[in-house]
Amino acid sequence: MGSMALGLFATLLIGTIFETLGQYTGWALLTEVAGYAKGCTGAALGIAIAHSLQAPPLVMLCAAVAGMMGNGMAATFGETTLTAGPAGAFVVCIVAVVAAALICFLLPDMIQLVDNMIGILTENDKILK
């Protein structure tokens, strides 16, 4: 859960601070930077969670996309729309990192299996040679 706090602090809280400073000073640049910082919350959560799970670099980048999707998920019940927010990003990122790690773990074995199957087919079948 500490990694989630880092991701939130780096984006959502810093964005809120910039927004407040922009409102008090009247500087539009600070308010605009705040919007960008808040928009990156899901990606920062994804990277922070993947880093805490010691994921490889490619999995971290995939977790950034998963975090953005999880942070922006919404469900409508009648007239009420609920957004998942950071909690949704947390759940989606953990599922994405575990799934990606499993794929990375199994991929070399799958490649070797396909290579062996192709080798067997080319030895036994004159058409494929």
Helix (H, G, I), strand (E, B) or coil at 30: helix
Angle at 54 between CA 62 and CA 8, to 5 degrees: 65
pTM assigned to the model: 0.74
Angle, helices 85-124 vs 41-52, to 10°: value is 60
pLDDT digits over 39-53, tens only? 899 999 999 999 999
Angle, helices 85-124 vs 57-72, to 10°: value is 130
Domain boundaries, the chain: 2-104
In this prediction, residue 8 has a pLDDT band, given cuts at 50, 70 and 90, of confident
Contact between 58 and 14 (Cβ < 8 Å): no
pLDDT digits over 79-106, tens only? 888 788 888 889 999 999 999 888 888 8
Q: Which residues, other chains included, contact 30 with Cβ-Cβ below 8 Å and sequence gap of 6+?
A: 18, 19, 21, 22
Element of type H or E holding 13? none
